[in-house]
Every structure is written in structure tokens, then in C-alpha cells.
Amino acid sequence: MNESSKITVFAYSKDQFEEKRVKKVEEALNYKEYSVVWINIDGIEHLEELKRIFGFHDVAIKAILRAKSRARVAILKDHLFILLHQVYELKGGLKKERTAIFLKDNFVITLQERSGDVFNSIRESIRHGEGIFRERGADYLTFALLDAIVENYVPILENISTQMEVVENKVLKNGDKDTLRKIHGIRRRILFARRTIFPLLEVFRRLRLEGKEFFTEETQGYLEELYNHVMEVLDIIENQREMASGLVEIYYSTLSMKTNDIIRILTVVSTIFIPLTFITGIYGMNFNSKISPYNMPELNWYYGYPITLLMMLAIALGMLYYFKRKEWL
């Protein structure tokens, strides 16, 4: 087995199974007597070869080459072409990579941008003859591959949900600038997930409607189940979107409430002390009380100072009572 080769052939029938790494796509044709031949290719270097050998349509090749391709299904002459994305987290953001699946006769060809491990459990099942793979045809394998990819979206979404709960708790306690950035990041990721997964609805809807010649009735039941699964995933995303925009609203509200708190403190302190300071200002004036009995006679009263202090205390208490009644304290 050549370790550096990126083409792997899984060929199996009811009672037989062979797995081999090959260098050229052509070598896979030797296995065509098996019921199912799955050729898994990492990277997109062998596209031309595939086109030549299997006669895949030009538009499929084009779609794989375009970096921003949308998930899609196409029935092209004698083969079925499905393009969809695997989503994974990378450095705090989400990334997606294209995965192409061709179904032609008993051949299933999968192309992945980089070697991933989403299909590992399927590989294991085939190797050890688990499940019903060996009893079914290439259409069931196609279903299983699609199922593995869709199944893989769920932990990504659960991760987002967890992050959202963390942020939600923070927001409800106190909302700093960092929290805002985090909410923004989460919304980005939700939008990304939605944009990637939404086209799958159309893909599975068309598979159900138009894929009858490629799938046995049995497998069609599974495809319908897959459609439901995508609906569930989209339900979760829709929900997360609403919750995230609810988070923004709460964020605003806590911000406003904080401003309110701050201003209330300012107002309470100011409105209590400003009048008092005014009074001290009055008795700090230098009017000449020797010239006239009307000029600040209070300064020379026997109880002038204590009376003034008491008066100020009364004002302060009155204010405090007023604020208390207004529930500002």
C-alpha cells in the first residue's frame, strides 16, 4: 500500500471486501466486479482524470473548482453529482470545505478538499462488515455519506449554543465592550452556518423528487429522513438566530440601565449638596454687618451656626425622603 497516495478504494460485495490505496484513478476500475466501489480522493488534482474515465459532465468539474460553490445536486446524463460542505471550527471561526459525491452505476466517488475523518465511522463499518452496508448497493453508501456530513453539523451548532449561554450570563450581569464583540462573533457564525446548510434543503428535496432512478425505494425512505434531519438542524439555527438578536436587545437594555444607575447617583448627590453649598455660600459672603442691621444679621445670632446646620440637615433629609419615595435609592 502506497502511503503517500491520496486515492483510496473500498470495494465490497456481500461476502467480500478489499481496501487499497492507489496512485491513479484508473486502477480502481479493476474492482468493478464488486457490488460497490467507493473511491475516496483527497484533494482535487485528479478531476481531469475522473472526467476522462467516468465521463463526468463539465459543469460538475466547474462547480468543484469554484471556491464559493453552493451545495447542489445535479443529475447529469448517467451520473448523479452532489456537492456539499463539511463545516469545522478553526481558530474561533467557522470554515467550510467542499465535498463532492459522484454516483455512477456501482461506483461512488467522493472528493474532499483535505483528508478529513467524517467518513471514518463508515469506513470502520464497511471494514468490519457492521451495519447493513454490505447488503445494500451504492445508493445506500451515498445516503450514508450524506448522513455522516449532516450529522456532523450538530456538534458545531451545540458548540454555538454553549457559547451563547456563556455570553448570555455575562450580558445579564454586566455588558462590556468585549461581550458585544462576542455576540457579534456568534451571530457571524450562525449566519455562516445558515448560509452553508440552507441550500441542503433544496438538495435533498430534489434528490427525493428527481433521484428516483439512482435510489431504490428503500433508500428513498432514508433520504426523506435526511431531509427531516436538515430541517431539524435549520430549526436550531433559526432559533439561535432569534436568541442571538434577543441577546443584543438585552445588551442594549443593560447598557441603558447602567447609564440610568450612573445618572441617578449623580442626580441624587448633586441635588442634595448643590442647595446646601448654596447656603454655605450665602453665609460666606462678606457683607458688612457693622454698617447696617440688614446686612447678614444671622452671622451675629447666638444660635446662628447650629440653626443653619440643622436647616441644612433638614433639607438633606427631605431630599433623601423624596428620592426614597421615587424609588431612586
Among the residue ranges 16-24, 94-102, 110-118, 186-194, the one whose residues contact its own copies (CB under 8 A): 186-194
- The Cα 220–Cα 228 span in angstroms is 13
E runs forming strands in the chain: 7-12, 17-22, 36-42, 72-76, 79-90, 93-104, 107-112
Q: Three-state DSSP class for 130?
A: coil
One of 16, 59, 212, 317 touching its own copies (CB under 8 A): 59
Residue 38: closest CA among 130, 112, 102: 102
Examine residue 321 and tell whether it contacts its own copies (CB under 8 A).
no
Who contacts 62 (Cβ-Cβ below 8 Å, separation ≥6)?
none
Q: How far is the CB of 18 from its own copies (least distance, A)?
A: 27
Interaction with its own copies in 11-30: which residues (CB under 8 A)?
none
Examine residue 239 and tell whether it contacts its own copies (CB under 8 A).
yes
One of 68, 91, 169, 213 touching its own copies (CB under 8 A): 68
Q: Which three cell numbers stand for residue 25?
A: 484513478
Q: Pattern of binders to its own copies over 251-290, x per CB under 8 A? A: xxxxxxxxxx-xxxxxx-xxx-xxxxxx-xxxxxxxxxx-
Q: How far is the CB of 279 from its own copies (least distance, A)?
A: 8
Among the residue ranges 43-51, 62-70, 92-100, 116-124, the one whose residues contact its own copies (CB under 8 A): 62-70
Q: How far is the CB of 62 from its own copies (least distance, A)?
A: 6
Q: How far is the CB of 84 from its own copies (least distance, A)?
A: 13
Q: Pattern of binders to its own copies over 288-317, x per CB under 8 A? A: xx-xx-xxx-xxxxxxxxx-xx--------
One of 21, 72, 205, 208 touching its own copies (CB under 8 A): 72
Residue 244: closest CA among 199, 182, 195: 182
- Which one, 29 or 243, has the nearer CB to its own copies? 243
Phi, psi of 82 (to 5 degrees): -125, 130
Interaction with its own copies in 161-180: which residues (CB under 8 A)?
172, 174, 177, 180
Q: How many residues does the chain have?
A: 329
Q: How far is the first Cα of the chain from the last one, in angstroms, to the nearest whole number?
A: 79
Examine residue 159 and tell whether it contacts its own copies (CB under 8 A).
no
Sheet holding 17-22, edge to edge: 17-22, 7-12, 36-42, 107-112, 93-104, 79-90, 72-76
